[in-house]
């Protein structure tokens, strides 16, 4: 990078630079590597043991502890040696070549920019709500582990997502603590002369000024933008105030800041990513800005620039319902982006709108951010195999007349960053079995090593986890009770709730109705019997927030709190408030069984169940999201029949019955069935198989390698090929698209014949290409697959070329007579090497 490029200045001006060694403490505290690597924990514990155990936030500890105490510790040679060693190790880890450098030393991939509305990296940086941020944060961490050159781009929220208080009546209150940037582990991005790096968006009325921040995540970086700049029109300072709050206007402005501002920031930093990964449609405006920058560089038109740049864009959709996509009224898009389209992109407002509408003939349709993402990307995927299927249905209307299985949306099933979610005990167990470096390369052998761990060792590990868990739950509960004004006797009682020897079920997630957090409450009397069975008792831990605008979700919280208030229940069910990453870490490490009860297919993936795997927890879940592909009878339990029943109360009742049965007849007996040494052998056997088989598979290690090999590397190459020589190939493809657009309607099949000869069929067709060349199209025979099998697609050979290409071309093919003749139809689709059909060109002609 040249000298003009701004860089982050890690130290707050108020920091005691004169304190020798302090800069190293700050360097460690500002690198979120501590969120998964616990080598430095001792450093922070020594600074303030109590604050450390309460927060696990090194940056917070460092800012709170007195300077005298820091000076004293830094003067201690033992402490100082440890600090020196840790900083050295950290720097070496950042420099050493990772899996990516070793496997792809000459790759065309230098930078992937990963755009996301939220990132869940640590509670020290509360700029997330839940699942989506979890996926983003965990992938960034795994990219670090593997050396994949990913840079995150997101927003710095002044308040972020709400924090939850539940009053004694079970009513959720939303509160919004202020994220003081000075207290967050982030650094401002500044020019060399100390000036703040600011990004400007010219919008009608007022410009928006954005400030830029950097978060260090091992060797990877996350850049954040916020609009809280004094130069802004005052209401605009609130654009980046809340996550998932406010009106459609505000959401649109946030998405402009993320997409357009984010891409501009990369530009200002001199970063030119080959690949732009859009984590959900929120950041789709980056597509426009990326194309605009390419126009500026090459002089190409918007459409040719989009052809070039979209090859390098990867879109991951996370939504399983139509209503989940962000949409904006056309007037709103026109108001904020009309000038940008006309002046900067050189396209009409209608052309801009068409990028986000299902059908440009319906000019009044909302602008759908996911549609823009699909029209501006070279690859699209859902987040589990089932969600891929659901997404092909959701987006089928963008590819009219194409068979569902050819809708160009694949899947990369989510995973979790295992080192962030394993407990200290689990880390110890896995390190003994598989070594310290186990998540830094390929992970094919991990299962084998875990299978060698004995039942006794596994059970010992789980018993210790239960102890730690119960202690944590009691402490958390007492703190939360104090905050909601609980009387003293109840708080005393709380210190004795739960029992480490009792089977613990856990359910923690967003309280949304489709997740059915109240499924277990369908028959409260039966649940009560199940919990309080004197021989085989059960305890249940719950947590979760409902969006402040979701009153149905809030009512579900209240329903549980009221159930728990019964004296005979209290010992057995606890609802912990303010579900966040820190709480989640403790829950997934402590529970024996993780419950998940969504209405299929509305859980796109789900990740919380993956977090229990490394810790020896077992999943009992609806066959939805990741579990639909992970489940087998020897590794956990399944709910539902693997079919979709929508929002049907009768079906909910059936599934609730099935859930009680499963618990009573299988889960609970297996847990309490002990051998002479007190070990539940069937349980530990199931647990070991779940750990061995599923932990590696549902880790972001696997996910990031899959994205890298299947999406990033091909995308980088395709982008480079199209962008070379001022976008020469892109211009050719754009011309070709235009020719197809003009000629396609005139394409004709003039006679399609089929006859049988022995055990073969002979097909022939005369095709009038209307000025297109034979290499522009594929003429295919098509038959639906039998019994759910794959469809048959066979290209026909062009057997006769007329002198004048306006004449009929003869296509022929001979096939074994496997299906009835009537099953075959002929179709014509566009074809060009390196162009993704139907993603980039969706014409199709059927001849029946």
Ligand X SMILES: *Cc1c(COP(=O)(O)O)cnc(C)c1O
Rank residues 137 and 830 by Cβ distance to ligand X and give the closer one.
Answer: 137
Structure tokens at 751: 């006679």
Quickly count: other Cβ atoms within 10 Å of residue 801's Cβ: 14
Rank residues 152 and 356 by Cβ distance to ligand X and give the closer one.
Answer: 152
Rank residues 137 and 378 by Cβ distance to ligand X and give the closer one.
Answer: 137
Rank residues 259 and 606 by Cβ distance to ligand X and give the closer one.
Answer: 606
Rank residues 607 and 731 by Cβ distance to ligand X and give the closer one.
Answer: 607
Strands (E), 122-249: 150-155, 163-166, 172-175, 187-190, 198-201, 208-217, 220-226
Rank residues 355 and 595 by Cβ distance to ligand X and give the closer one.
Answer: 595
Residue 135: CB minimum distance to ligand X, A: 8
Beta carbons of 479 and 459 less than 8 angstroms apart: no
Residue 598: CB minimum distance to ligand X, A: 9
Q: Which of 116, 134, 615, 699 binds ligand X (CB under 6 A)?
A: 134
Rank residues 130 and 356 by Cβ distance to ligand X and give the closer one.
Answer: 130
Determine the 3-state secondary structure of 517 from DSSP. Answer: coil
Q: Which of residues 45-84 bind ligand X (CB under 6 A)?
A: none
**Residues sharing a CB contact under 8 Å with residue 149, sequence separation 6 or more, in sequence order:** 100, 109, 110, 111, 112, 143, 220
Residue 707: CB minimum distance to ligand X, A: 19
Residue 508: CB minimum distance to ligand X, A: 7
Which x/- pattern over 558-597 shows residues binding ligand X (rule: CB under 6 A)?
---------------------xxx--x-------------
Residue 517: CB minimum distance to ligand X, A: 10
Q: Which of residues 695-714 bind ligand X (CB under 6 A)?
A: none
Q: Round to whole Å and give the CA distance between 794 and 178.
A: 61
Rank residues 134 and 298 by Cβ distance to ligand X and give the closer one.
Answer: 134
Stretch that binds ligand X, among 226-234, 289-297, 602-610, 680-688 (CB under 6 A): 602-610
CA dihedral (25, 31, 35, 36) positive or negative: negative
Residue 123: CB minimum distance to ligand X, A: 9
Q: Round to whole Å and give the CA distance between 83 and 73.
A: 10
Residue 625: CB minimum distance to ligand X, A: 8
Q: How far apart are the first and last CA of the chain?
A: 60
Rank residues 146 and 583 by Cβ distance to ligand X and give the closer one.
Answer: 583
Strands 208-217 and 220-226: antiparallel
Placement of tokens 């299947």 in the chain: 710
Rank residues 608 and 701 by Cβ distance to ligand X and give the closer one.
Answer: 608
Residue 248: CB minimum distance to ligand X, A: 25
CA dihedral (346, 257, 546, 609) positive or negative: positive
- Considering CB under 6 A, how many residues would be counted as binding ligand X? 13
Rank residues 365 and 578 by Cβ distance to ligand X and give the closer one.
Answer: 578
Q: Round to whole Å and give the CA distance between 510 and 508.
A: 7
Tally the C-alpha atoms within 13 A of residue 447's C-alpha that lie toward its C-beta. 12
**Residues sharing a CB contact under 8 Å with residue 290, sequence separation 6 or more, in sequence order:** 263, 276, 309, 312, 313
Rank residues 240 and 607 by Cβ distance to ligand X and give the closer one.
Answer: 607
Stretch that binds ligand X, among 600-608, 638-646, 665-673, 749-757 (CB under 6 A): 600-608
**Residues sharing a CB contact under 8 Å with residue 91, sequence separation 6 or more, in sequence order:** none
Stretch that binds ligand X, among 109-117, 128-136, 151-159, 635-643 (CB under 6 A): 128-136
CA distances from 14 to 22, 182, 524 (A): 12, 10, 57
Tally the C-alpha atoms within 13 A of residue 625's C-alpha that lie toward its C-beta. 25
Q: Round to whole Å and give the CA distance between 278 and 372.
A: 11
Q: Round to whole Å and give the CA distance between 669 and 686.
A: 14
Q: Which of residues 603-632 bind ligand X (CB under 6 A)?
A: 606-608, 611
Residue 296: CB minimum distance to ligand X, A: 40
Rank residues 462 and 515 by Cβ distance to ligand X and give the closer one.
Answer: 515
Strands (E), 559-626: 573-576, 593-596, 618-622
Q: Round to whole Å and give the CA distance between 301 and 704.
A: 34
Placement of tokens 């709380």 in the chain: 494
Please give the order of strands across the beta sheet that includes 808-816. 748-757, 760-768, 808-816, 797-800
Query: Is residue 636 near ligand X by the rule CB under 6 A?
Result: no
804: DSSP letter: S
Stretch that binds ligand X, among 62-70, 553-561, 601-609, 670-678 (CB under 6 A): 601-609
Q: Which of residues 195-254 bind ligand X (CB under 6 A)?
A: none
Residue 584: CB minimum distance to ligand X, A: 3
The closest alpha carbon to 479, from 412, 387, 577, 400, belongs to 577
Stretch that binds ligand X, among 129-137, 199-207, 243-251, 315-323 (CB under 6 A): 129-137
Q: Round to whole Å and give the CA distance between 149 and 833.
A: 28
Stretch that binds ligand X, among 126-134, 360-368, 628-636, 819-827 (CB under 6 A): 126-134
Rank residues 402 and 602 by Cβ distance to ligand X and give the closer one.
Answer: 602
Residue 430: CB minimum distance to ligand X, A: 20
> How does 552-577 read in b/e, with b if 16+ C-beta sit within 10 Å?
ebbbbbbbbbebbeeeebebbbbbbb
**Residues sharing a CB contact under 8 Å with residue 641, sequence separation 6 or more, in sequence order:** 623
Q: Which of 6, 60, 130, 506 binds ligand X (CB under 6 A)?
A: 130
Residue 608: CB minimum distance to ligand X, A: 3
Residue 133: CB minimum distance to ligand X, A: 8
Helix locations, 576-680, DSSP H: 581-590, 608-613, 627-630, 649-662, 668-672
Q: Which of 58, 98, 131, 601 binds ligand X (CB under 6 A)?
A: 131
Q: Which of residues 272-311 bind ligand X (CB under 6 A)?
A: none
Residue 594: CB minimum distance to ligand X, A: 9
Stretch that binds ligand X, among 130-138, 254-262, 666-674, 770-778 (CB under 6 A): 130-138
Q: Which of residues 746-785 bind ligand X (CB under 6 A)?
A: none
Please report the DSSP string for 73-94 in residue order. HHH-HHHHHHHHHHHHHHHHHH
Q: Which of residues 501-560 bind ligand X (CB under 6 A)?
A: 509-510
Rank residues 214 and 690 by Cβ distance to ligand X and give the closer one.
Answer: 690
Q: Facing residues of 78 across strands?
A: none
Beta carbons of 581 and 127 less than 8 angstroms apart: no
Residue 769: CB minimum distance to ligand X, A: 50
Q: Which of residues 368-387 bind ligand X (CB under 6 A)?
A: none
Beta carbons of 214 and 186 less than 8 angstroms apart: yes
Rank residues 424 and 773 by Cβ distance to ligand X and give the closer one.
Answer: 424
Residue 238: CB minimum distance to ligand X, A: 25
| Residues in touch with ligand X (CB under 6 A) | 130-131, 134, 509-510, 579-581, 584, 606-608, 611
């Amino acid at each position: 990078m040249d000298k003009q490029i701004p860089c982050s200045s890690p130290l707050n001006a108020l920091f005691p630079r004169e304190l020798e060694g302090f800069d190293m403490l700050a360097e460690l505290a500002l690198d979120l590597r501590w969120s998964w690597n616990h080598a430095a924990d001792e450093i922070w514990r020594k600074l303030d043991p109590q604050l450390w155990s309460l927060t696990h936030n090194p940056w917070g500890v460092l800012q709170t502890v007195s300077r005298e105490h820091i000076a004293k510790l830094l003067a201690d040679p033992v402490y100082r040696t440890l600090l020196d060693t840790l900083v050295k190790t950290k720097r070496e880890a950042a420099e050493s070549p990772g899996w990516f450098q070793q496997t792809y030393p000459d790759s065309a991939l230098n930078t992937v920019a990963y755009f996301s509305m939220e990132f869940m990296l640590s509670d020290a940086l509360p700029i997330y709500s839940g699942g989506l941020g979890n996926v983003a944060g965990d992938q960034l961490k795994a990219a670090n582990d593997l050396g994949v050159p990913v840079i995150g781009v997101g927003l710095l929220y002044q308040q972020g997502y709400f924090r939850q208080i539940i009053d004694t009546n079970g009513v959720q209150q939303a509160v919004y603590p202020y994220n003081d940037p000075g207290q967050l582990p982030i650094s401002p991005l500044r020019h060399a002369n100390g000036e703040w790096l600011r990004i400007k968006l010219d919008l009608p009325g007022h410009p928006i000024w954005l400030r830029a921040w950097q978060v260090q995540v091992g060797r990877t970086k996350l850049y954040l933008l916020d609009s809280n700049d004094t130069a802004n029109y005052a209401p605009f300072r609130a654009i980046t105030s809340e996550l998932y709050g406010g009106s459609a206007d505000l959401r649109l402005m946030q998405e402009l800041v993320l997409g357009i501002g984010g891409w501009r920031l990369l530009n200002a930093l001199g970063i030119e990513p080959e690949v732009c990964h859009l984590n959900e449609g929120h950041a789709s405006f980056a597509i426009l800005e990326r194309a605009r920058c390419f126009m500026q560089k090459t002089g190409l038109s918007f459409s040719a620039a989009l052809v070039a740049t979209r090859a390098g864009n990867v879109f991951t959709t996370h939504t399983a319902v139509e209503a989940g996509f962000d949409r904006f009224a056309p007037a709103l898009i026109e108001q904020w982006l009309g000038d940008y389209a006309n002046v900067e992109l050189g396209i009409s407002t209608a052309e801009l709108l068409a990028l986000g509408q299902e059908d440009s003939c319906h000019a009044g349709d909302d602008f759908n951010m996911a549609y823009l993402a699909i029209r501006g990307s070279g690859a699209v995927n859902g987040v589990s195999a089932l969600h891929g299927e659901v997404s092909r249905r959701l987006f089928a209307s963008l590819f009219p007349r194409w068979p569902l299985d050819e809708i160009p949306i694949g899947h990369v099933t989510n995973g979790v960053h295992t080192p962030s979610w394993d407990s200290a005990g689990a880390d110890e167990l896995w390190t003994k079995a598989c070594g310290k470096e186990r998540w830094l390369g390929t992970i094919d052998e991990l299962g084998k090593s875990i299978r060698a761990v004995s039942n006794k060792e596994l059970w010992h590990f789980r018993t210790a986890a239960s102890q730690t868990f119960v202690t944590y739950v009691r402490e958390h509960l007492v703190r939360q009770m104090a905050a909601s004004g609980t009387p003293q006797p109840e708080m005393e009682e709380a210190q004795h709730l739960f029992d480490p020897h009792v089977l613990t079920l856990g359910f923690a997630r967003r309280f949304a109705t489709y997740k059915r957090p109240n499924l277990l409450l369908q028959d409260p009397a039966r649940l009560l019997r199940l919990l309080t069975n004197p021989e085989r008792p059960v305890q249940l831990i719950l947590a979760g927030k409902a969006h402040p605008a979701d009153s149905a979700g809030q009512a579900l919280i209240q329903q549980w709190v009221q159930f728990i208030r019964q004296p005979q229940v209290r010992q057995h069910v606890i609802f912990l408030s303010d579900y966040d990453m820190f709480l989640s870490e403790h829950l997934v490490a402590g529970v024996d069984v993780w419950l998940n009860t969504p209405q299929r297919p509305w859980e796109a993936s789900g990740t919380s169940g993956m977090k229990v795997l490394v810790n020896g927890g077992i999943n009992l879940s609806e066959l939805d999201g990741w579990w639909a592909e992970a489940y087998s009878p020897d590794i956990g339990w399944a709910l539902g029949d693997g079919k979709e029943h929508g929002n049907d109360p009768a079906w909910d009742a059936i599934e609730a019955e099935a859930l009680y049965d499963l618990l009573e007849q299988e889960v609970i007996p297996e847990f309490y069935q002990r051998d002479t040494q007190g070990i539940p052998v069937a349980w530990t056997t199931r647990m070991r198989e779940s750990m061995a088989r599923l932990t590696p598979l549902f880790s972001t290690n696997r996910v990031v390698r899959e994205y890298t090999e299947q999406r990033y590397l091909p995308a980088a190459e395709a982008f480079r090929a199209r962008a070379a020589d001022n976008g020469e190939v892109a211009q050719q493809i754009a011309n070709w698209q235009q020719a197809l657009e003009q000629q396609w309607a005139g394409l004709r099949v003039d006679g399609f014949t089929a006859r049988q000869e022995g055990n073969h069929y002979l097909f022939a067709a005369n095709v009038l290409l209307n000025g297109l060349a034979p290499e522009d199209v594929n003429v295919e025979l098509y038959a639906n697959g039998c019994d759910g099998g794959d469809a048959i697609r066979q290209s026909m050979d062009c057997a006769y070329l007329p002198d004048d290409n306006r004449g009929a071309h003869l296509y022929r093919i001979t096939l074994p007579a496997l299906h009835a003749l009537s099953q075959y139809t002929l179709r014509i689709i566009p074809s060009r090497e390196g162009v993704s059909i139907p993603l980039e060109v969706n014409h199709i002609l059927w001849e029946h």
